[in-house]
Chains A and B, each alone.
Chain A
Amino acid sequence: MKPAPFTYHRARSAEEAVSLLAELGDDAKLLAGGQSLVAMMNFRLARPAALVDISRLAELRYVRVHDGELRIGALALHRDLERLAGPGVLAEFGMLRRAARYIGHYAIRAAGTFGGSIAHADPAAEWCMAAMLFDAQIVAHGPGGDRVIPAASFFKGFLETALRPDEMIIEVRLPAPRPGAAICEFARRHGDFAIVAVAAAVDSEGGACRDARVVLGGVAGTVQRAVGAEAALIGSGLDADAIAAAAERAAAETDPPGDIHGSAEYRRHLVQVLTARAIGEAATYA
């Protein structure tokens, strides 16, 4: 299990990284934390002709609040989100800290990056779900400068994104806090990618839910919203019946694949169970 040959290029800046990508062509890949890419390379399931190493771009490792939005540098480590601190940030974006605990384990969280996870676009990845949940703005840097891609149009398919071959994510912006947000997962084993994960956010006023967001992981080629479930929640009192109805809608509107860890039917069942849990938990923070 040794990777196929490639050329190695260390970028000293985001500008240099994208110009290297442009120069090296379609078979070049960015290397950040390497937790998914290098494993795939060792299996020779990925065989980039060139790697552009951006892991030294320390200027891209940050998590900060800016004008009420949370800005996460592409090279923020999972552990940086796990250590999110400050009462304001925790109240508004605390879901990220809780979600980080689901990512692999200590050693993975010390190596993997937020931007790398978004760019890899695994359909059960917590950060991809969070991006959908928070309506993230993904800032891609390319030869022509920056462009901002909304999460809703970023995830295209299984491990496929709207990024162009010569673009890199430099920052992910979460434009608005969602205090009432939670993520619930089920995996066979501690630290594994979830069989199904559900993230939910609710916002209520005077006991009535005025906004809801339900994002499903592990049920399709990409993370996806359960819009029917969201609709079922809005206007409801977030009571047990409403939550159950929304969970049922979420299960009904998904068509998950089956694999050795769980059949399609089982995944749909988990969607229902976990949607209810996630909404219920989200409501406790709202």
Chain B
Amino acid sequence: MTDAHSIRITVNGTEHELAVEPRRTLADVLRHDLALTGTHVGCEHGICGACTVLVDGLPARSCLMFGVQTDGRSVETVEALGTPDALGPLQQAFTDHHGLQCGFCTPGFLMLVTAFLRETPSPSDDEIREVVASNLCRCTGYQGILRAVRAAADARAAG
């Protein structure tokens, strides 16, 4: 039964029904079956975090999860955070503070931090650094990312 399983997943609020081979990672399902290529794949072994998405609200490496596991569950990806014409607040903070260069790791950071700020609305600088250390960025030295997360948290706190 390595044959395809029929699954139903909700991605960014839209329900999809599709047939997936069990071994197909959630990252590949999102990118190639659902054409949501904003989620990037950087290492396929759970270290870099570029593929981080939210599954039922918690951050998940979509390279370490099979699409079939998300049957009946809810997935959020970077495409849900805003549009080029209407950036979400975290995205706005990233551009304000130069939190991205090549942009490849960026969606993973955005999803990671989105989950974090939802449950930790007033984080300390140390907490921010610890969370940002979950993922790898090779361009920025994390300086802009840390500033952006701080600013996003502060803006949120200010209402």
Using Cβ atoms and an 8 Å threshold, which residues of chain B touch A190? 130, 133
A51 touches B22 (CB 8 A): yes
Using Cβ atoms and an 8 Å threshold, which residues of chain B touch A38? 46, 63-66
B68 touches A43 (CB 8 A): no
Docked CA distance A51–B68 (Å): 11
Docked CA distance A10–B71 (Å): 10
Q: Which of B54-62, B74-82, B146-154 contacts A (4 or more CB under 8 A)?
A: B54-62
B44 touches A42 (CB 8 A): yes
Using Cβ atoms and an 8 Å threshold, which residues of chain B touch A228? none
Size category, B interface: 20 to 34
Q: Which of B1-40 contact A (CB under 8 A)?
A: 1-2, 5, 21-23, 25
Docked CA distance A111–B112 (Å): 13
A107 touches B65 (CB 8 A): no
| Shortest Cβ distance from B55 into A: residue | A111
* Other-chain contact of A39, B23, B45, B49 (Cβ < 8 Å): B45
> Closest CB of chain A to B73's CB: distance in Å?
9
B52 touches A107 (CB 8 A): yes
Given A38-B46, A105-B131, A191-B134, do A6 and B23 touch, yes or no (CB 8 Å)? yes
Docked CA distance A106–B149 (Å): 15
* Other-chain contact of B65, A34, A43, A191 (Cβ < 8 Å): A34
Interface digits, B110-125 against A, CB 8 Å rule (1 contact, 0 not)? 0010011000000000
Interface digits, A185-198 against B, CB 8 Å rule (1 contact, 0 not)? 00000110000000
Using Cβ atoms and an 8 Å threshold, which residues of chain A touch B25? 2-3, 42
Using Cβ atoms and an 8 Å threshold, which residues of chain A touch B59? 106-107, 110-111
A4 contacts chain B at the CB level, 8 A cutoff: yes
A144 contacts chain B at the CB level, 8 A cutoff: no
A105 touches B130 (CB 8 A): yes
Using Cβ atoms and an 8 Å threshold, which residues of chain B touch A191? 133-134
Interface digits, A214-246 against B, CB 8 Å rule (1 contact, 0 not)? 000000000000000000000000000000000
| Shortest Cβ distance from B135 into A: residue | A107
* Other-chain contact of A106, B1, B65, B130 (Cβ < 8 Å): B130
> Closest CB of chain B to A81's CB: distance in Å?
15
A1 contacts chain B at the CB level, 8 A cutoff: yes
Docked CA distance A55–B25 (Å): 16
A108 contacts chain B at the CB level, 8 A cutoff: yes
Measured CB to CB, the residues of B under 8 A from A are 1-2, 5, 21-23, 25, 44-46, 49, 52, 58-61, 63-66, 68-69, 71, 112, 115-116, 130-131, 133-135
Measured CB to CB, the residues of A under 8 A from B are 1-10, 31, 34-35, 38-39, 41-43, 51, 53, 55, 104-108, 110-111, 190-191
| Subset of 19 A-B contacts with CB under 8 Å | A4-B23, A5-B2, A5-B22, A6-B22, A6-B23, A7-B22, A8-B5, A8-B66, A8-B68, A9-B1, A38-B66, A42-B25, A42-B64, A51-B66, A105-B131, A106-B59, A106-B130, A107-B60, A110-B115
